[in-house]
Amino acid sequence: MKYSQTFIPTLREVPGDAVIASHRLMFRAGMIRKLSNGLYAYLPLGLRSFRKVEKIVREEMDAIGSLEIKPTVVVPGELWKESGRWASMGEALLRVKNRLGADFVVSPTAEEAFTGIVRDELSSYRQLPLSLYQINTKYRDEIRPRYGVMRGREFIMKDAYSFHTNEESLDEHYQAQGRAYRQIFKRCGLTVIPVKADSGAMGGSGSEEFMVESEIGDNTLLLCKKCGYAANVEKAGCKPDFSPRPSAELAAAAAANTPPAEKIDTPKVKTIEELCTFLNTDAKSFIKTLIYKAVNVELDLSTAPGCKNLAKNTTAPGAPESYSEAFFAVAIRGDLDVNEVKLAAVVKASEVSLAAEADVIRITNTPVGFAGPVGLGSVPLIIDHTVTGMNDAVTGALEQDKHYKHAAYGRDFTAWLIADVRTVKTGDLCPLCGGELYEKKGNELGHIFKLGTKYSLSMKVSYLDENGKSHIPLMGSYGIGLDRTLASIIEEHHDEQGIIWPVSVAPYHVIIIPIKYQGDVQVACDKLAGELEASGVEVLLDDRDERAGVKFNDADLLGIPWRIVVGDKNLAGGMVEIKRRNEKEGRLLSPASAVTEISGKVNGSKII
């Protein structure tokens, strides 16, 4: 392809919102242009690399027997109402009414569409397992899209969904997807951190995220240098740094030497820090108690304190019951933070958030700042594991300007539920090996997930087994964001001058730069381009009437893996200059040797 015949509007300047390297470079290299906030058009150069990522993803999906289909992008709202996500998904779901007033969704993901399609076709166990995927447009109405295609509103996702008769079959395909993902990222030249989304402490592995390290990542990862443990903070566990008590009785016994709980005056002392100063002790001696509001709670609260009259959501028959909202008190050691994602998982809620002040006052019967577990009966009390080890603690007394000293779990209060809800952080101990954990920011590129019967149940999918008995299939879902993958490749492969493409996803393999595209040089360039193309190498021939310096700078910016410079002087000696994008100096080679070397490398390796 001649440069003059394509459309690569390179730029020296970048828009103000381009704060990360991939955004800046994709913009400067003429790969993308902004249509609107979070909406980007791929120009020819960008689309070439994008299609290579797409091809790699498709090949690896086909290799594990997943079958490509193409549902629509606009899908009936009815399907989303069946699954319950029409109500639960919030504003990121772009809802549309058509001219007849019917509800539609611009797909942000496609569990509903795939489940709907399979439901209508599935009758026998003989049709399972079945894995289907699409590579298709998705839209999420992000409130604050950023970083170019890294976090856009519209993007292309590969999403696969699988259907199984049993756990073993689901696990087998889940593992195959995981291997395919590793292979995809490897072929893209990406260093990913596969993160088991379950904490090691909890066991199991129903979910794995594929992260790339990124300073602008919206995930915090906890990593162990010693054993390789990696977990999202939303799920990460840690070795106990306290004495856990297996039961309330044992805890009470451990408090035998603790003086009785004593209510003390703590005037105008509200924060943990103020209390530490006031009582001259440290945060680890406090039990912090927070009131949370949870929505769409599936946990059974029929016997929980204060929950008798909770309103239930209407649900499909057979689907789990849920409460539209419920409040919980959560007690945790004073130096720790409650992780809301973990808490939401514990109470099986779609979302949890700190309760509003008015709710806190109503529930604790005291102003904010004096909540505590002792005597609290208005809502279910969840305590973090750490609290089970506390037999001489300070905590709020449910009374203005009052705290308890010497409060002991098991003796002065018990819990409705004990769970791990702490936010693990740098310095905590690896749940697997006890090594020290450290934090990194990460961006999620892919996610594989065992859905179980969540969708097959709510959307009433079933099949008959060999005895004619009806069952509900297990499902898995497996997604990769292609735009984000492409941007992440650039994040990992660039320098000050521009992109440094891995060969597998480079828009072209070689850029040929004539010092001046005329006479013998022109003839030599055309011949070289023809021979390279004939041997399967993709060539960009910079035939522009520009200064050599401009062409060199653009070549570095575009990041094409090989550069061949053709000039009068070298050509007179039968030579051209060949240079890898990541090398400082070029080498002189005959054109024939250049063709042999490059075509050998392009055809011989999948990544390089």
CA distance 603 to 346: 51
Range in contact with a second copy (rule: CB under 8 A) among 67-75, 171-179, 231-239, 307-315: 67-75
Q: Which is it for the CA torsion 495, 496, 500, 506, positive or negative?
A: positive
Minimum CB distance to a second copy, residue 446 (Å): 21
Q: Which residues of 26-40 are buried (b: 16+ CB within 10 A; e: fewer)?
A: bbbbbbbebeeebeb
CA distance 596 to 62: 32
What would the two tokens of residue 447 be?
């996610």
Question: Contacting a second copy (CB under 8 A), which of 12, 36, 268, 572?
Answer: 36
Task: Decide whether 15 or 259 has the Cβ nearer to a second copy.
Answer: 15
Best CA proximity match to 151, nearest among 493, 484, 489, 485? 484
Question: Contacting a second copy (CB under 8 A), which of 117, 279, 515, 548?
Answer: 117
The overall longest dimension of the chain from CA atoms, in Å, is 99
Per CB under 8 A, 39 contacts a second copy:
yes
Task: Decide whether 9 or 600 has the Cβ nearer to a second copy.
Answer: 9
Per CB under 8 A, 414 contacts a second copy:
no
What would the two tokens of residue 145 be?
């899209």
Question: Contacting a second copy (CB under 8 A), which of 120, 265, 466, 585?
Answer: 120
Per CB under 8 A, 71 contacts a second copy:
yes
Best CA proximity match to 95, nearest among 86, 35, 73, 38? 86
Range in contact with a second copy (rule: CB under 8 A) among 69-77, 406-414, 450-458, 487-495: 69-77
Minimum CB distance to a second copy, residue 55 (Å): 12
Angle at which helices 44-63 and 167-187 pack, to 10 degrees? 150
CA distance 76 to 112: 9
Instruction: Tell me, residue by residue from 135 to 174, as one string, x for binding to a second copy by CB under 8 A and - for no binding.
Output: -xx-x-x-x---------xx--------------------
CA distance 214 to 485: 12
State how far the alpha carbon of 578 is from the alpha carbons of 107, 455, 563, 591, in Å.
Answer: 47, 56, 6, 9
Per CB under 8 A, 69 contacts a second copy:
yes
Per CB under 8 A, 68 contacts a second copy:
yes
Per CB under 8 A, 106 contacts a second copy:
yes
Question: Contacting a second copy (CB under 8 A), which of 22, 24, 28, 42?
Answer: 42
Question: Contacting a second copy (CB under 8 A), which of 13, 16, 70, 271?
Answer: 70
Instruction: At 221, give phi and psi (nearest 5°).
Output: -110, 145
Task: Decide whether 132 or 529 has the Cβ nearer to a second copy.
Answer: 132
Number of residues that bind a second copy (CB under 8 A): 52
Q: Which residues bind a second copy (CB under 8 A)?
A: 5-7, 9, 33, 35-36, 39-44, 47, 50, 65, 67-76, 78-79, 91-92, 94, 96, 98-100, 102, 106, 113, 116-117, 120-121, 127, 130, 132, 136-137, 139, 141, 143, 153-154
